[in-house]
Structure 1
Amino acid sequence: MASPPEGVEPAVIHAWSAPRSLSTSLMYSFSERDDMDVLDEPLYANFLRVTGVDRPYRQELLSKMDPDGNKVVKEVIFGPGEKAYRYCKHIAKQHLPNLTGDLMKKGKHFILIRNPMNIL
């Protein structure tokens, strides 16, 4: 499929998952498509900033990713791109009340689940 003209928003696919649900494997399979742009947890920096959760890599991540979740939604997730589709891998707990409602209103969403016994 041809890429959209520059400045056109790609069709966005949101994958919502829990940790250990094979979401990264699925993301890598989508990344093999020539017409697909892939974002791996684009809201993670916002999650760290808002919740204050401590991680050993926290400062490094916050220095490399934009921690303004609404800006990420508008400019990164729904911003213009060079490919027809954009796949966003999200961890469900990173969807916080401070985020714009546009995140859930736009694009196609699915929830990736896995048998809990296979996660343990």
Structure 2
Amino acid sequence: MTTRIAMWSGPRNLSTAMMRSFGARGDCACVDEPFYAHYLLQTGLDHPMRDVIIESQPADWRDARDAMLVATDRPIQYQKHMVQHMLPGMQTDWLADLTNVFLIRAPERVVASFSAKRGLPSPDELGFRRQRELLEELARRGPVPVVIDSADIRRAPRPALATLCDAIGIPFTERMLSWQPGEKPEDGIWGSHWYDAVNNSTGFAGAEGPLPTLDGPLEALAESLQDDYAAVADHRLRID
């Protein structure tokens, strides 16, 4: 029986490094953003490599879900999801059969990182509101999903990952702390645009420094995201 872990994150939030970490275990199959094509088709957003991404995945979310949930010979499956890809109208009852984890990051850091790649984003593109909505929906059904802050992982990878594994009922292994550099077979085709830093990495980067200083529209955007971030962060794991 496979333990299927759904990791719900926004963009620019350590999610690919976490996919590398789980992929390095040796007992885990990874799935990279299965609803991306559906999201692009429904929103009309002009993301880098848009047409190629749409061609690379099922266009309907139901087909993407079914393809993702097929049997695997690994005891663990790690699903990397972007919360903003879960658009209105997409059913969520199937999430009851998954181990749902929410990966969070301070809005100032997300806004600074995303804007360096794509310019000023809309709030919806960053997923903070959708992440809060999804967590609250799952919490009403019970149990409250696990929440972990990317800052805690970068500050103390071993205790953070050991605490996470304990919370979701899988054994921790030291293999999660490092990986071989380069592209991986599970990477979405968009990795050639977005994954340059993680492809050059062999483990988690060190602790982050002070929050970035933002001005003007970027500062206002980060401020508008604080309430949603705080509501999810209230549930985060405490890392010694």
TM-score range, shorter chain: 0.7 to 0.9
Determine if the alignment matches structure 1 residue 110 to structure 2 residue 101: yes
CA distance in 2, matches of 1:19, 1:50: 18
User: Is 2:24 the partner of 1:22?
Assistant: no
- Which letter does structure 1 place at the counterpart of 2:109? N
1:19 and 1:101 map into 2 onto residues whose CA distance is 21
Report the equivalent of 2:41: 49
Deviation at 1:56, TM superposition (A): 3.4
Q: Which amino acid aligns with 2:40?
A: L
User: What is the aligned-residue RMSD (CA, Å)?
Assistant: 1.5
Match of 1:100 in 2: 91
Specify every segment of 5 or more residues in structure 2 that has no aligned partner in the other structure, as ranges: 113-240
Q: Secondary structure of 1:15's match? A: strand
TM-score in terms of structure 2 length? 0.43
Aligned-residue sequence identity (percent) comes to 32
Structure with bigger gyration radius = 2
Deviation (angstroms), 1:70: 0.8
Partner SS, residue 55 of structure 2: helix
Which ranges in structure 1 are unaligned for 5 or more consecutive residues? 5-9
Partner of 1:12: 4
Following superposition, the deviation at residue 53 of structure 1 comes to 1.3
What SS does the corresponding residue of 1:16 show, helix, strand or coil? strand
Q: Which has the higher contact order (CA 8 A, sep 6+)?
A: 1
CA positional deviation for 1:103: 3.6
Distance across 2 between alignment mates of 1:33 and 1:66: 28
1:81 partner SS: coil
- 1:64 aligns with one of 56, 63, 74: 56
Cα deviation for residue 108 of structure 1 reads 0.6
Give the structure with the larger strand fraction: 1
Give 1:84's aligned amino acid: P
Instruction: Give the match's secondary structure for 2:74.
Output: coil
Q: Secondary structure at the match of 2:109?
A: helix
Q: Pick the structure with more helix per residue.
A: 2
